[in-house]
Structure 1
């Protein structure tokens, strides 16, 4: 099970790990919205009898190869692609950072959100990375002054509001509960998975979100409604969360859209100590995309498993339920992991 954006195919991985014959494979896309959905489709394959065990993986050369934060090479072209992107790209709206900067600016104008609110999210992720030897920013501490003093990239977003660009790969193994209980390590049980979206007014992946009635709501709200209903749980049942953090503003919006605080209160919620160890909702405990590495949400799935197993470098004591939210853009997906206790 792979993402359609990746360059390693299922048969390539099967050969590398010694699988003589695949009985199931699938591609899911696009990019950062895929990981929880990939796990969900692995579950569906197992429940339908198409597979017994599925490897769900992501791999990308986000630093040495294609950088997802770069401008579109076809930005000087008008027409031909069949999407509404063509009415943005030729006029200078070229990068994801510019799009999410507009969402941040709107949130600031509508709710009074301050740069320091976003700074608390960046600092939370950096502190967790400092405890994680595998994180890119493991040895690089950061203060609020460092954050506020970092150069603007797409105002109001600064350098440390942006995720890293990473060469990396991650994988999880999905199998039946009965099989997992016989294995050497304790399983992280999949309580529920959901996929959803908000219909866009025009075709395209990213730029049409700027044409919605609200610029302060992500597809997370639609995914959340489905996931909570399927799981029979709610925001108050979550012990720890891994929230997609390509930018700090996506974390703030997801805090609101997943129901951890009211719309417009994400900034004060983040600034009140809720996101760190001992807070009401510890997030991104390996450092997240902002400070661990950017593997398009798949490293969030891995960290969710670690939290349930009790092996995280920033372990939340007694964590029994972990939310993994890969909901930065339409469509989106989410995953609830539970302990076997």
Structure 2
């Protein structure tokens, strides 16, 4: 089966509400701020907004249905995407088809979460039935221990070292120093990375993201509408999505991207060598390395050597996670699944400001999320391209 292209639908109005380490504001407040800013940027009134997609871990007891009353909007299309780090690309895929089919004219895709003193602990303790029954009661206080097993297996299988993962973290911190909204504002050296205390061997301090509060958003509409409004925008060249790939693998050393990667590049009409900037989901550096391989930038098992041979900073030959990624910007719950896509839209529309990669036209974005027990279940990827106007 040949998939239909995403003709006539575009991405615009990327918004990042500056993250905060802790807050007393609700998830509703963070989502509302991102939505308001995105609509203003897109020159769309709340009355004109007829589609809404929301991702959030801390919205309870409300759902996106309740948000419509809080916000005073009446959409004819409503979606919620509970796919963690894959939520941004997944939301974009669904919204794009809704606009393309005429079910809706304008969709705002928003993700946001709060972070109070005990929010992260409460989230982890009841994240899934697996976590409640099989990990948390036995001392696995979250994903660190699960990803430690994954990283240990990856290193033993492919020969990657802590220095290799450290280069990813250090490069992203260098990028974050250009981002005024990054939570982490101090330079990070490889020596500091290596001296970081062990959290769950071999996962150390700077392999981990900082939970925080924040929100991200973008708007999807028909291309002629974006042109009429004079908005900078990006087209969708290709997307893929997969849930629970390779369930029989005893340890997750590959993600669902592998199943559909040929389709991604076939649909895009080019290969990974045509990409100007890459945004991967970075809950841990080892997952970035897996994505370099599984997205086709290098062969399986060659991720460490790929990292050694490339400059991953904004001005380098392989710009990666140019905002600083979650490792340095922070992980604002479900907004972490939007962070890379929102930055990618800015990059290819040349609106990224201090993190802009010179000449960036095409971006690849990948998402990875929902570690239910021993592995991340959701994966997604997209290729987007800016339009010169």
TM-score, normalised via structure 2 length: 0.77
Q: Distance in 1 between matches of 2:266 and 2:121?
A: 34
Correspondent of 2:360 among 302, 319, 337: 319
Does the 8 Å CA contact 1:136/1:293 hold for their aligned counterparts?
Answer: yes
For the pair 1:305 / 2:326, whether they are aligned, the reply is no
Correspondent of 1:257 among 288, 291, 294: 294
Does the 8 Å CA contact 1:23/1:51 hold for their aligned counterparts?
Answer: yes
Does the 8 Å CA contact 1:198/1:222 hold for their aligned counterparts?
Answer: no
Correspondent of 2:174 among 127, 132, 145: 127
Cα deviation for residue 89 of structure 1 reads 4.1
Shift of the 14–85 alpha-carbon distance from structure 1 to 2, 3 Å rule, reads closer
Give the structure 2 partner of residue 160 of structure 1: 206
For the pair 1:173 / 2:219, whether they are aligned, the reply is yes
Which 4+ residue blocks in structure 1 deviate beyond 6 angstroms? Answer: none
Give the structure 2 partner of residue 96 of structure 1: 143
For the pair 1:47 / 2:97, whether they are aligned, the reply is no
Structure 2 portions without partners, runs of 5+: 1-52, 370-375
Q: How does 1:35-114 map to 2 (within 5 A)?
A: 35-62=88-115, 64=117, 66-67=119-120, 71-72=124-125, 81=129, 83=130, 86-114=133-161
SS, match of residue 274 in structure 1 = coil
Cα distance per residue 1:115-173 (max 9 Å; x no partner): 00000000111001101101111x31111111011111111111100112110011101
Higher strand fraction (1 or 2): 2
For the pair 1:195 / 2:241, whether they are aligned, the reply is yes
Does the 8 Å CA contact 2:242/2:380 hold for their aligned counterparts?
Answer: yes
SS, match of residue 304 in structure 2 = helix
Give the structure 1 partner of residue 280 of structure 2: 243
Does the 8 Å CA contact 2:55/2:80 hold for their aligned counterparts?
Answer: yes
Shift of the 64–241 alpha-carbon distance from structure 1 to 2, 3 Å rule, reads farther
Q: Distance in 1 between matches of 2:218 and 2:127?
A: 35
Give the structure 2 partner of residue 234 of structure 1: 271
Does the 8 Å CA contact 1:6/1:60 hold for their aligned counterparts?
Answer: yes
TM-score, normalised via structure 1 length: 0.87
SS, match of residue 215 in structure 1 = coil
Shift of the 184–50 alpha-carbon distance from structure 1 to 2, 3 Å rule, reads same
Q: Distance in 1 between matches of 2:343 and 2:225?
A: 22
Does the 8 Å CA contact 1:323/1:335 hold for their aligned counterparts?
Answer: yes
Does the 8 Å CA contact 2:246/2:256 hold for their aligned counterparts?
Answer: no
Cα deviation for residue 17 of structure 1 reads 6.0
Q: Distance in 2 between matches of 1:72 and 1:194?
A: 31
